[in-house]
Amino acid sequence: MADNVPDGPAPLLLCAFRLGDHWFGVEARWVREVSGQVSFTPAPHAPQAVRGYVNLRGSLILALDLRCLWTNFAGSAADSSHLLVFKPSAGESFALVAEEVAEIAAVDRQQMENARSADPSLAVVSPMGDRLAALTIGFAKLSDRLVTVLDPCRMLDIVFADPSDSARQSTLSSHPHFQVGRPPDA
């Protein structure tokens, strides 16, 4: 075997970001870019998790603030200085608002805890709520933090779903995008 060929499956590359006191991550393959300070144009009658639209080099991108999925307070635009812009394969033009983007970290897939196989007593649902839990793929331990790994391909469905529609939430929980390492759509 050649020296430059790794043994076992390739590590999962995560883009880690912070919202409040919580650290999250998405697979780096879904992230198109990280953008700095931006201004938001409100989107009237949109769900609370929609911060607004951002004009990024002439393209309108929907900006989501996931803090609304576990609290009723979205914070001010001054709280969030980064925007994770996703590739079209993750969904229509959208981005996540983040207070800090830390790194792209390589995580051994064997070290990730799958959210659905975790001990039920560890309450994936927790105070963050069912809608954020439905986005959770699993948990990864980085050198200095625990990261909740999210599925960006499900974000628009979850944000625009009626939280009182439990049948839809149940369907979303069994959605095929809920797989770690799923290849991007062609």
Q: What is the pLDDT of residue 126?
A: 42
Residue 178 within any structural domain of the chain: no
- DSSP-based three-state secondary structure for 19: strand
Q: What does pTM read for this prediction?
A: 0.73
CATH of the domain at 90: 2.40.50.180
Better-predicted residue by pLDDT, 143 or 16:
16
pLDDT at position 54 is 92
CA distance 186 to 31: 16
In a domain, 181, yes or no: no
Establish if 81 belongs to a structural domain.
Answer: yes
Count of domains for the chain: 1
Does residue 181 have a pLDDT over 60?
Answer: no
Residue 115 belongs to domain spanning? 12-171
Rounded to the nearest 5°, which phi and psi values hold at 67? -60, -25
> 182 in a domain, yes or no?
no
185 inside domain = no
Residue 184 lies in a domain: no
pLDDT tens for each residue of 54-107: 999 888 999 998 887 765 454 554 566 789 999 998 888 899 999 889 889 898
Q: Tokens 């793929």 appear where?
A: 137
What pLDDT is recorded for position 153?
92
- Residue 134 covered by a domain: yes
Phi/psi class of residue 126: alpha, beta or left (left: φ > 0; alpha: ψ in -120 to 50)?
A: left
H or E element in which residue 28 lies: none
Is residue 163 one of the residues assigned to a domain? yes
Q: What average pLDDT score do residues 137-152 get?
A: 89
Answer whether residue 22 shows pLDDT above 90.
Answer: no
Distance CA 34, CA 173 (A): 28
